[in-house]
Structure 1
Amino acid sequence: MAGIYIHIPFCKQACNYCDFHFSTSLQHVDEMTDAICKEIMLKKNRISDQQIGSIYFGGGTPSLLPEKSLAKIFDTLTSGFSIAADAEITIETNPDDLDAKKIAQLRQFPVNRFSIGVQSFFNEDLVWMNRAHNSTEAETCIKRSQDAGFENLSIDLIYGFPLLTDEKWLSNISKAIGLQAPHISAYSLTVEPKTALAAAIRKGREIPVNDEQSAAQFITLTAKLAAAGFDHYEISNYSLPGRHAVHNTNYWRGIPYLGIGPSAHGFNGNERYLNIANNAKYMQQLALGKLAETIEDLDIYDRFNEYIMTSLRTMWGTDLQKIGDEFGKIFLEDTLKNIVPFVQRNWLKNENGKLTLTPDGKLFADYIASELFLLDEHPED
């Protein structure tokens, strides 16, 4: 079943590491809601032959949306699509938004999963990141959500930043496990060029990220969550058995999805769609009944490289038979040749026709995938 991703481009304040598209002003939230609803209806025929198995509200901070905006978007979705009765419907939230009133509002909608941007349970870390919540809110919002019936929760954590000692990282992991969230997403801090953190590092006001620290904390995370019964089903994602995120898993398996909202991506198997990352221009185009997107046709090399990049990150791995069947003999032969050094180094396993990363290989997932990419040697002029 297909999915729908909706990008809500609003945040209370800018985290120092974030380069996602958002605005800290809610001045045009009604106009943005109208534009999102118009885009939904303009794109509904792209997957009209499929039921919707997942809807994901990302951002930005979707939990900032007022009740009337969420109601309008859900009304538009239900009028435009056939949504499966058991569809996973996720909304990204921040701890400071999840007070009793907001949770009660969200109970009125078919939202059945929260992805909560905790990042750390330590106040000094949250201040350093310029997060809007504190450590008490990080913990109490999870318990409050569970008490209200939202048991399908994912907790986001960040590791590899200068303030995070190994002792604090162990405490964060233990706290997340103890709160009984069935899903944990953990990301190594990446310094993106146009962020406040990058500027501070350039000016010498912050310490650069230490790759060795990040690697060691990744290894600790994986070991501790495995011992607690979590599947490491994707490089950055861990869940209890059977509690994998449906929406994100479909990304890695190449299932088609619509991308709605400024900066959102969509994918149908042969084409990728990218919406403009500019709120004003996005709303102006939709007000005229026009889509604010560019379309990229994916040739066989693009689709192969996409498959390698996404499948290799997962515990299900890369299927060699699928490569032969869908991309052809030459792609399969080149792949078998290119994996040899990584198998010899014990970074890759080739078992029963499936390529999977070893624990050591997971530290170099992006590098390994890039080395397995194939390029068209005879591109059209």
Structure 2
Amino acid sequence: MSGIYIHIPFCKQACHYCDFHFSTSMKKKEEMVLAIAKELQMRKNELENETIETIYFGGGTPSILPISEIRFLIDEVYKNYKVVKNPEITIEANPDDLSNERIIGLSKTKINRLSIGIQSFFEDDLKMMNRAHNSKEAKKCLEVATQYFDNISLDLIYGIPDSSQNGEQAQQMSNEKWIQNIQTALSFGIPHISSYALTVEPKTALNKLIQTGKIAKPKDEVAQEHFAILVEMLETNGFIQYELSNFGKEAFFSKNNSAYWLGKKYIGIGPSAHSYDRFSRSWNVSNNSLYLKAIQENRLPNEIEILSITDRYNEYVMIGLRTIWGVSLHKIENEFGKEYLNYLNKQVQKFINDDLVCIENNILKTTKKGKFLTDGIASDLFFINL
């Protein structure tokens, strides 16, 4: 089973924290849709012997596309690839795009999963992040969407600085405010929540606002508190934390994301999209004009990296530790060899002693205490070729 990711590189406006590839100019949107369709055709041989289990529209903001263009791209997948009977087909959407009419229209397509970028239900947070929607739109779209879709995920961000004050004295999001955000999300009966700490990326507006003292720098200790609250509240409400930042009710785990974490093949279509076939990784150019030019000239605008055994080991450890499935020591030995297994056993001992990780049934996993520190632990377990 494989997946197809389709990157729609357009947004109405730039969120202050975002460093994904997108353009706020819609001039080349129709041209881009046709180019994406052509890339789907050009790359069908890559998955000739595979069955497509998931189709995912990401971005950017794919919900800005008219229903007709979404249908057109889904049809192109079905024309060029072998698709399972009931694939998971997800579209990322912003609340301001999800009018009653648009939600009903999407429900009449093959889209069967919505991933809605709520981020926060508080007006001041949304303004600070420069989101295109407001709190009222966030709640309204969920009221309507839950009537037409069973499979809905929403995104929430924690560790947000309070922009109502200036400079380093500004307060961080309070625990009470974060709890209200989670309670509001739960009140809609949503079966999946993805939640991330606000991260300051180098070339973003958020980084500049922090450097100029207009917004306080997010604090790790606040984010860690919010993470603990999130885990406890969602587990109490029947959610399973199947990946560090992803929580789903039973039968509502994201098949698309789970496939990434379990090392399945996928191709990424559109500017900046990544592909993976277990032994190599490729990525398309992050430039709309260069992408369009290459596709028009029947060239794939991508670079390819062949993954070494060390690359594959490090990636497996990093992803495995973040998930409910953990890191199989059997797999480490069988796929990478005893040298890697011995190295891992040696490196991991200090984290076992500190009760940050444990080994059960030959599976390495983080403990509740170590969960928030997962990425740091994984990097300490990476194999370094000297």
TM-score for the superposition, normalised by structure 1? 0.97
1:120 aligns with 2:129: no
Q: After superposition, what is the alpha-carbon deviation per residue over 1:260-298, rounded to whole angstroms, capped at 9, x for unaligned?
A: 110110000001011100001001100111101000000
Structure 1 segment 129-168 matched on structure 2, within 5 A: 129-147=129-147, 149-163=148-162, 164-168=173-177
| Unaligned runs of at least 5 residues, structure 1 | none
**Which one of the candidate residues 166, 175, 178 is aligned to 2:187?**
178
**One-letter amino acid of the counterpart of residue 354, structure 1:** I
2:323 aligned with 1:314, yes or no? yes
CA distance in 2 between partners of 1:360 and 1:283 (Å): 48
Q: Distance in 2 between matches of 1:265 and 1:290?
A: 16
Q: Distance in 1 between matches of 2:212 and 2:34?
A: 42
How far has the Cα of 1:242 moved from its partner? 2.1
Determine the C-alpha separation between the residues in 1 that align with 2:328 and 2:135: 43
- Are 1:16 and 2:25 counterparts? no
Tell me how far 1:71 sits from its aligned partner: 2.4
User: In the alignment, which of 269, 289, 293 is matched to residue 298 of structure 2?
Assistant: 289
- Please tell me the residue identity of whatever aligns with 1:44: K
SS in 1 for 2:186: helix
Shift of 1:107: 2.3
Q: What is aligned with 2:249? A: 240
Whether the 8 Å contact between 2:283 and 2:304 is mirrored in structure 1 is yes
User: How big is the shift at 1:236?
Assistant: 0.4
Q: Does 1:264 align with 2:263?
A: no
Distance in 2 of aligned mates of 1:206 and 1:63: 29
Cα drift, residue 143 of structure 1: 1.6
- 8 Å CA contact 2:7–2:273 kept in 1: the answer is yes
Q: Which amino acid aligns with 2:66?
A: P
Residue 74 (structure 2) aligns with: 74
CA distance in 2, matches of 1:239, 1:107: 21
Shift of 1:76: 1.0
Give me the whole-angstrom Cα distance separating, in 2, the residues matched to 1:213 and 1:185.
Answer: 18
Q: Per-residue deviation at 1:188? A: 0.2
Matched, 1:276 2:275: no
Question: Quick check: 2:116–2:154 contact (8 Å CA) kept in 1?
Answer: yes
Instruction: Tell me which moved more, 135-144 or 89-98.
Output: 135-144
Q: What do you get for the CA RMSD once the two structures are aligned?
A: 0.9
**Structure-2 residue corresponding to 1:195:** 204
Segment drifting more, 89-98 vs 359-368: 359-368
- The aligned amino acid for 1:343 is I
- The offset of 1:360, in angstroms, is 1.8
Secondary structure at the counterpart of residue 206 of structure 2: helix
Match of 2:335 among 316, 326, 340: 326
**How far apart, CA to CA, are the structure 1 residues paired with 2:224 and 2:332?**
31
- Deviation sequence 1:91-129 (CA, Å, 0-9, x none): 000011110221122123210000000001111111111
**SS of alignment partner, residue 43 of structure 2:** helix
2:228 maps to which of 190, 208, 219:
219
Any conservation in 1 of the 2:146–2:188 contact (CA below 8 Å)?
no
User: Contact 2:7/2:272 (CA < 8 Å) preserved in 1?
Assistant: yes
Cα shift readout 1:312-364 (whole Å, capped 9, x = no counterpart): 10011000001111111111111111110000011101111001111221121
Structure 2 counterpart of 1:123, one-letter code: E
Give the 3-state SS of the residue equivalent to 1:307 in structure 2: helix
1:358 aligns with 2:357: no
Per the TM alignment, residue 15 of structure 1 is displaced from its structure 2 partner at its CA by 0.6
User: Counterparts of 2:76 and 2:240 in 1: how far apart (Å)?
Assistant: 36
Distance of 1:9 and 1:245 partners within structure 2: 22
TM-score (norm: length of structure 2): 0.96
Partner of 1:55: 55
| Cα distance in structure 1, aligned partners of 2:41 and 2:180 | 46
Identity %: 46
- Judge conservation of contact 2:151–2:191 (CA < 8 Å) in 1: yes
Deviations 1:173-210, CA, capped at 9 Å, x for gaps: 11111111100000000000100010011111111111
* Displacement after TM superposition at 1:72 (Å): 2.1
Q: Distance in 2 between matches of 1:39 and 1:370?
A: 35
Query: What 5-or-longer segments of structure 2 have no aligned partner?
Result: 163-172
CA displacement at 1:142 relative to structure 2: 1.1
Which range moves more in the overlay, 343-352 or 100-109?
100-109
Q: What is the distance in 1 between the residues matched to 2:215 and 2:140?
A: 31
What SS does the corresponding residue of 1:16 show, helix, strand or coil?
coil
Q: Secondary structure at the match of 1:73?
A: helix
SS in 2 for 1:312: helix
Alignment-derived partner of residue 215 in structure 2: 206
Q: Look up the match of 1:345.
A: 354
The CA deviation at 1:41 is 1.0
5 Å-filtered alignment, 1:18-57, equals 18-57=18-57
**Deviation above 2 Å: which 4+ runs of structure 1?**
none
2:100 alignment partner in structure 1: 100
